[in-house]
Amino acid sequence: MTILNKLLCILCLLLAYLPGKNQVANRYDIIIDELMADPTPQLGLPNTEWIELKNTSAVAFNLSGWRIGDVAGQSGAMPNYLLQPDSFVIVCTASAVAAMSVFGPTIAVTGFPSLDNTGDVIYLRSPQNRIIHSVSYTDAWYQNELKKDGGWTLEMIDTRNPCSGLSNWKASTDDRGGTPAKKNAVDAMNKDSDGPALLRAFVSDSLNVVLLFDEPLDSLNAVAANNYSISDGAGNPQSVVVVSPVFDKVTLRLNGPLVRNKVYTILVSAVTDCAGNGIGTRHSARLGLSEPADSLDVLINEILFNPKSSGTDYVEIYNRSNKIIDLKQLSIANRNTTGAISNIRQLSADNYLLFPQDFMVVTGDPAIVKREYISLNPEAFIALASMPSLNDDEGDAVLLNAQGRIVDELKYDEKWHFKLIDNPEGIALERIDYNAATQNPANWHSAAASVGYGTPSYKNSQYRADQQVQGEVTLTPGIVSPDNDGMDDFAILSCHFPSPGYVANITIYDAAGRPVRYLQRNALCGIKANFRWDGLGEKDQRLPVGIYIVYTEVFNLEGKKRQFRNVIVLARRNN
């Protein structure tokens, strides 16, 4: 070969790479369309992690200088490789190139990021330092309980719909476990026709607000300040930044500081996703400045500790204060056999606001709880990867603030369930009164049958407001029907005294004047006191329907006495 021919060959090689090197890529020109995050147990593919890139544009791109990364950092630069339109290339660590090259074109990068089995963000960055594509996946994306345990890749269904998440990904259906360097086995049309939804908002400080959406936004229209408006005079923000690499988060810089102890509402308009779909009905969220949780600001309000074999434990909490409380600053725990607090789990790794008088359900698997029980607020769920264990018979649930102080604690017992329930499996215990003591067994009752034995995310079926009258003893309701149907399953005897130190004896008589239940003996009362009668006799037996007298005698150490007689009707809707 002459020197001229050699020069011509070198020139041809250079020209082959120049088109790709000189072009600036737009978002989604090249995408991550398959990834192997969990290669074990091994099927038909090598036991190594890798990702696949696809060129969805009409031009070739030289990948020299491109990088991939995750939250921990990014890789070294990719080598010279010309990725043709509608073509694929495998990217992995150098030690895996030989094994992966069997399946097709493969390139290596130094510092290939470790792909977490669930809950990771992988992004592709061009030499111009632009995020071209990112994938924020979890193991729920496999949409297959068997395959999410490993050995199978995650594949994008429709590569023309690159910014959708769960709805556009699933586990590979190829028998080898994946399709490296080839068209995905799950490839199909899957057009995105749903607009983005605003999930929630939180405040990082009095001048900065963060909005979280359920999918990536078009960053060009999302930066317009007029698309965001905050109530109570806060108005439009001063500036807007769409946060990379996923572009599903927006930060707003306000013109003036937010005021404490105020709940604001933000409205979002005109923003679109990368497919051009406009925001839908979920376009508003509450926000405000959070405060630390003190004792009993947040309560344990409902607990399922003995689920069905198909179910899972949950703990519902309730914000009884007037504070906005950040769940990032709260943890749930239990106690070990020595009584020490253990298995502490932070409720949220991200800022997540719990507003006054709101409920939140903490569980290992929200989908299971929503399947087993009616959920009136499906957004009020927090998923913990490792929920503190709750024994089926008795145990502890503890809420801690960021300083490790106890906010509320419940030492529960299965004996607190309604006495006529033979099998409490799958039945939640509900708090009756937010203002009564957590550890008082009389302040808890089995959830009603009429609501499916649990009310996760909304007001308890057995909730009873405090209706005490000062200096009096009242009994509500006037008719009690102890059949656990959620309708007047028990009665509350409410006492309100002018000073503390009173002692109460409470006896229930039938219409013939015979005592059938010694409800309380020498019960020390504060200024307020509540006592519950579940309609059962002294030995927890059913009583005949009819009229009963609740006789209450109170006295104090000063010799003051008073008697109260309250009439109640015992009925039974379900025999």
pLDDT digits (tens, 9 = 90+) for 402-461: 999 999 999 999 999 988 888 999 999 999 989 889 999 989 999 988 899 999 999 999
> Do 497 and 489 meet the contact criterion of CB atoms below 8 Å apart?
no
Could you tell me which of 80, 79, 178, 67 has the C-alpha nearest to residue 123?
A: 67
pLDDT value, residue 14: 45
Count Cβ atoms below 10 Å from residue 202 Cβ, excluding itself: 23
Backbone dihedral region of 522: left (phi > 0), alpha (psi from -120 to 50 degrees) or beta?
A: left
Structural domain contains residue 240: yes
Average pLDDT on 273-289 reads: 94
Rounded-to-integer distance, Cα 474 and Cα 115, Å: 63
Compute the distance between CA of residue 557 and CA of residue 547 in angstroms, rounded to an integer. 33
Residues 304 and 385 in one domain: yes
Number of Cβ atoms within 10 Å of the Cβ of 44: 10
Q: What CATH number is attached to the domain comprising 501?
A: 2.60.40.1220
Q: Are residues 318 and 437 in the same domain?
A: yes
Are the CB atoms for 446 and 303 separated by under 8 Å?
no
223 and 251, same structural domain? Answer: yes
* Statement: residue 6 has pLDDT above 60: no
On whether residue 188 sits in a domain, the answer given is: no
In a domain, 193, yes or no: no
Count up the domains in the chain and report the number. 4
pTM across the whole model: 0.76
Note the pLDDT of residue 487: 87
Instruction: Write phi, then psi, for 489 (nearest 5 degrees).
Output: -70, -20
The token pair at 77 is 């630069």
Average pLDDT, the chain: 91
30 assigned to some structural domain: yes
Residue 323 lies in a domain: yes
Taking every pair of C-alpha atoms in the chain, what is the biggest distance, in angstroms? 124
Whether 244 and 204 map to the same domain: the answer is yes
**What number of CA atoms fall less than 13 Å from residue 536's CA on the CB side?**
13
Same domain, 423 and 515: no
Q: In the predicted model, is pLDDT for residue 367 greater than 90?
A: yes
- Distances in Å between the Cα of 71 and the Cα atoms of 68, 131, 135, 243 are 11, 13, 12, 13
Identify the residue with better confidence: 321 or 484: 321
CATH of the domain at 401: 2.60.40.1260
Name the residue range of residue 206's domain.
Answer: 198-287
* Cβ-contact 552, 505 below 8 angstroms: yes
Predicted confidence (pLDDT) at residue 462 exceeds the cutoff of 50? yes
Q: Would the pLDDT of 12 be above 60?
A: no
Q: 3-class DSSP state for residue 28?
A: coil
* Residue 475: inside a domain: yes
Type of residue at 545: V
